[in-house]
C-alpha cells in the first residue's frame, strides 16, 4: 500500500481539447514576428555575402524552395542532365 501511494498516474487531456482554429495569442504572434525578422536578417546577410555563381545559385535554390517547395524535393533527371550537356555538343 505504501508503494502505491508513491505512484501517480499521468492524466490525459480529452480528445476534444485540440483546437488549431483558436485565435492566435499575443505570445505566438510575437514569436511569428521575431522569427520573421531574424530570417529576413539572415536572408539579407546571405545575399550580401554572394560573390560567385555557385553561391548565387545556392541562394536562388533556397529562395525558390520557399516559394515552390515541390520543386525543391525533385532531383535532376537524366533528361535534365542531358539538356545541360547540349551546349557542349553544339560547339563541336
Partner 1 sequence: MTKGMDNLKHIVVLMMENRSFDHMLGALMQQDSRINGLTGNETNPDSTGQAIKVEPLAAYQGQLDPDPDHHFPGVNMQLFGGGAPTSAPSMNGFIKSYFEQRRDVNHSHKILYYFPPAKIPILTGLARNYALFNGWFASIPGPTLCNRAFAHYGTSFGQVGMNLFYLNVPFLSIYERMLKAGRTSKLYYFDQQSSSLEVVNLLKNQPRLFGLYEDFLSDCKKNRLPDYSFVEPNYSDHEDDGGGELLASDQHPDHHVLAGEAFIGSVYNAIRNNPNLWKNTLLLITYDEHGGIYDHQAPPSCTPDGFEASAEATGTGFPFKFDRLGVRVPAIAISPWIPKGTVIAGPEAAGGRVFEHASIPNTVMKAFALQDDNRSPREKAADTFLDLLSDTMRPDGDCLKLK
Contacts with partner 1, residue ranges (CB under 8 A) = 3, 6-15, 17-20, 22, 25-28, 30-31, 34-35, 37-38, 41-42
Smallest gap from Cβ 31 to partner 1, in A, equals 6
Nearer to partner 1, 34 or 83 (CB): 34
Q: How far is the CB of 52 from partner 1 (least distance, A)?
A: 23
If the CB atoms of residues 41 and 82 are measured against partner 1, the closer one turns out to be 41
Tell me if residue 63 falls in helix, strand or coil.
helix
**Closer residue to partner 1 (CB): 28 or 60:** 28
Instruction: Report DSSP state, residue 24.
Output: P
Q: Least distance in Å: CB of 69 to partner 1? A: 14
CA distance 15 to 19: 10
Q: What is the C-alpha separation between 26 and 23, in angstroms, rounded? A: 10
Grid coordinates representing 75 are 532531383
Q: Smallest distance from the beta carbon of 21 to partner 1, in angstroms?
A: 9
Q: What is the dihedral of CA 68, 69, 71, 75, to 10 degrees?
A: 160
Amino acid at each position: 500500500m505504501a508503494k502505491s501511494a508513491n505512484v501517480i498516474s499521468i492524466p490525459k487531456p480529452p480528445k476534444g481539447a485540440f483546437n488549431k482554429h483558436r485565435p492566435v495569442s499575443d505570445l505566438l504572434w510575437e514569436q511569428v514576428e521575431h522569427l520573421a525578422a531574424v530570417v529576413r536578417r539572415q536572408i539579407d546577410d546571405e545575399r550580401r555575402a554572394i560573390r560567385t555563381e555557385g553561391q548565387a545559385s545556392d541562394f536562388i535554390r533556397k529562395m525558390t524552395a520557399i516559394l515552390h517547395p515541390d520543386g525543391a524535393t525533385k532531383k535532376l533527371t537524366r533528361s535534365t542532365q542531358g539538356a545541360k550537356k547540349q551546349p557542349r555538343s553544339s560547339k563541336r
